[in-house]
Amino acid sequence: MAALLMSSAAAQSAGDTAVLRMQEAFRANQASTLSQTLPQLRGHVLEPMAAYWEMRVRLDSAPVAQITQRLAALRGSYWEDRLRADWLALLARREQWDLFDAQWPFYRMRDERGLLCSAALRDWRRGTTPAERVAIDVTRWWLAQRNIDHGCAQAAGQLLAAKHLPELAVWYRARLAMERNQPSVAEQAMALLDPARAKTVHAIAKQPDIYLNDKLTAFRSTTKELVTLALIRLAATDPAAAAQALEGGRWRVQLTAEEQSWAWGAIGKRQAQRLQDDALQSFAKGKTTAMDDDHLAWMARAALRAGQWGVVEQAIAAMGADEQQDPTWLYWRARVKLAQSPSLAQTQEAQALLRSIASTRHFYGQLATEALGQAITVPPAPAAPTAQERQSVRQNPGLRRALAAMALGLRTEGNREWNYTVSLHTPGGMNDRELLAAAQWACEQARWDRCIYTSKRTQVAHDQSQRFPLPHRELVVTQANALGLDPSLVFGLIRQESRFVTDARSHVGASGLMQVMPSTARWTAKRIGLSPLQSQDIHDQTTHVRIGTAYLKMVIDDFDGALPLAVAAYNAGPSRSRQWRNGPLLPGDIWVENIPFEETRDYVKRVLSNSVNYAGLMTGQPQSLRERLGTVGPRISAVPVNNELP
């Protein structure tokens, strides 16, 4: 028996080695290595993943029969759906619609806009869906995409050529791309109209001011849209210059009201992001009905900062229906109604809006709860998963493969398979009981990020101990208490930074539970007596948490205990947070809403909301998010700013 177990362990080890070898070959696009190694994985738990890799690198040239055989061998797995999605994209590019038709019904994810566009294009070409309906859907999916994509561009191009898609949709795509600093996306859109315009868009993206000056003569019908793109691009770096060009030049006369309004929206947005008082003046020069939802969001934020509740209401009312239903704007619509001596009807309407989002689940839900006069408390825990429910998820092949991949260090692949299994493998995903059992298994395996992700998907049964786990509790609490920090804040920050993945590493080089940059770690270590810090020391959890909490404490002290400022500084740097606090004294929720960086704004909301939930779990007492937000304004402390703080 011992010999048999040793033989089995050796075979497993050899199989694991083969998996890692195949991963390297897949990344290097080495088809021969993949084909030669795949037979070694017969019967291995990760064989489906390896089989996907082997077929994916030769998908362009593989015979149809081989592809369909591989799909059959992968039946029921994430890797079947992933391979089918890749093949569908290839078939759409080749316009092999008969094969596309045969495979589309078996594609389960249905979450890739490019493939949805391709399916809509097929339906139009087959005459099964009216062109008007297809054009509406394709436009919606295409404008929502942030990156270059062939599927929607192909569909848009063919609908455009058939005059079922208006040219304005292409210009909208280009405008949004310029707003997002993605000129290559704008160029792809323009190429659908005229390749020469794509080259012009490239030049505009590089030097919009020169294009505007060069166009003082020879005005053509298409020039005005290109001028709009140039104004959008110029506004990103110099909104004052863009405003001068729009208002002082000939463009004020030659651009349509719609084009001018979009440009004023882009200018106002950039001014609002710079916290400039003239932002509302720019917004007022355009028509809200012609502005993008992102412009209107910044119009609302600038109005909140200026205390102009009527303008807040105007901006939200002009947003699209979906955007208006976002908890952000439901909360602020309620606040608008309560801002100035509301009537009984306005109060009741505001309370109805607040009740629709009140919960512990997110920042605005917590604010709404308090606005209704209620404290934030931990919701009752659902019944624990039964032995049968636990056993059922442990037998799920997708979850088993996901955990096996994670154990080999293939976290990205494992996460994708786990997420697919709990949310996309069956329509609507797992039910609440299955999710709770799967989350519990992830927690037991110390896969805290998957535990959180899975438990957050429950619709009714909310288990706060899964959504807000407390790994490394003794270490974190000890270090926080030693520094006079609130442990719930530290846990809230770790949950947002790393989801408790100990070897997490960001794209900029931050690492560990608290995602500390190497330079910041060395600077902090020197000041708390841990110098010299060796590179491997930051990966020791005790050392890492000691450094991370010490730095957080220094940041909080430098901002006089103002948590919104300190948390923003932890994410975006102290110098930016100092700059953003200048201006009027604001309630914390309004100040947070006006943080210029989307990533930092979302980060501050999540960390503070997390901390409220952690405090409730750890103390058993009602909590207040509004107290943590406080008020934010210019520095009044006599203590000098710590300009050395990285």
DSSP state of 343: -
The answer to whether residues 301 and 594 touch, using CB atoms and an 8 Å cutoff, is yes
Q: Which helix (H) or strand (E) holds 632?
A: strand 631-632
Helix runs in 110-149, H state only = 113-126, 131-144
Residue of 497, 598, 627, 644 marked active site = 497
Distances (CA, A) of 548 to 535, 558, 568: 15, 15, 15
Q: How far apart are CA 147 and CA 144, in angstroms?
A: 9
> How far is residue 319's CA from residue 300's CA, in Å, rounded to a whole number?
10
Provide DSSP, 573-622: -HHHHHHHT-SS-EEHHHHHHT-S-HHHHHHHHHHHHHHHHHHHHHH-S-
Query: Half-sphere exposure of residue 69, counting CA atoms within 13 Å on the CB side?
Result: 6
The letter for the amino acid at 202 is H
Nearest by Cα to 273 from 572, 558, 563: 572
Half-sphere exposure of 562 (CA within 13 A, CB side): 26
Tell me whether residue 497 is one of the annotated catalytic residues.
yes
Q: Which of 568, 558, 579 is nearest to 637 (CA)?
A: 558
Q: Count other Cβ atoms within 10 Å, centred on residue 253.
A: 7
Q: Peptide bond before 380: cis, by omega within 30 degrees of 0?
A: no
Q: What is the CA radius of gyration of the chain?
A: 28
Q: Which residues of 309-347 are buried (b: 16+ CB within 10 A; e: fewer)?
A: bebbbbbbebbeeeebebbbbbbbbbbbbbbeeeeeebe
Q: Which residue has the tokens 């436009």?
A: 139
Active site (catalytic) residues: 497
